[in-house]
Amino acid sequence: MPRQLLWLCLVLAATVLRGQTPTLDSFQTADGYLAQGNAYFTEGATGEAILAFERGLRLRPNHVTLRNNLRYVREEAGITAPPLPEFFLVRWWRTVGAVIGSTMAYVLALICWWLAVAAGLYWYLWRRQMAEKRRFVLLPGSVFLLGLAVLFYLMARTRYDFLHRTDEAILIAPTAALRVSPTEAASVEAELASGQRLLITDRVGDYVKVTLEDGRQGYLLVAELAVI
């Protein structure tokens, strides 16, 4: 119990430091989204189930059960368009970022930065008095730590941006009309079933312009989808 309480305090502190208001979403986990998705699928809510699985994979991209369940639900819903494959370095970068976490990556970046500064100052002030071997090890070590600081900062930044993307969504309405323009009178290009993955490219009033996984584009009502 004390360990759980400590973790709760750390999550709250990190949320406040980022300038955000702590909410129940601050404590969502990949396993929690897995349970939500399974419950929604049992109730026949395909869109909400896929949404939950996708949100869980945002937190843990290498979660095998989430991936398998998402694939199964998509197949049951008749969604045959395969998701676009990611470049393996991007997939690796996101997986490592998920393991470390944005807050820890920021902390590691700060630690490496100050160690690099301390090592550089020590080398500069005492380079004439120190042994030759230490002098030639200390400066490259400082540069290496500086590189690690930049790497961890970039990982924290990209991880935070990935978790807060607002351009990817799931169609949660049972059915929706994909229209050629953002008006109710516009002709319908296609009838979409719940669970479709969408990329939001524009917003016009109550409508959003979306791109489907198969490349088709059109307009949907904002109320018909939910951001991952």
Quick: pLDDT tens for 104-129.
Answer: 999 999 999 999 999 888 888 887 77
Q: Which of 106, 104, 79 is nearest to 213 (CA)?
A: 79
Minimum mean pLDDT range among 4-8, 11-15, 82-86, 160-164: 4-8
Rounded mean pLDDT, 75-89: 74
| Mean confidence (pLDDT) of the chain | 83
Using the predicted structure, report yes or no on whether residue 23 has a pLDDT greater than 70: no
Rounded mean pLDDT, 196-218: 91
pLDDT at residue number 1: 40
Angle between helices 88-100 and 102-126 (to 10 degrees): 90
Quick: pLDDT tens for 28-49.
Answer: 788 889 988 999 999 889 999 9
Rounded mean pLDDT, 178-204: 90
Please report which confidence band the pLDDT of residue 24 belongs to, taking 50, 70 and 90 as the band edges: very low
CA distance 3 to 112: 27
- 28 versus 67: the higher-pLDDT residue is 67
Please report which confidence band the pLDDT of residue 19 belongs to, taking 50, 70 and 90 as the band edges: low
Rounded mean pLDDT, 211-218: 89
Using the predicted structure, report yes or no on whether residue 7 has a pLDDT greater than 70: no
Diameter of the chain measured on Cα atoms = 82
Positive or negative torsion for Cα 95, 59, 215, 84? positive
Please give the structure tokens belonging to residue 25: 């979403």
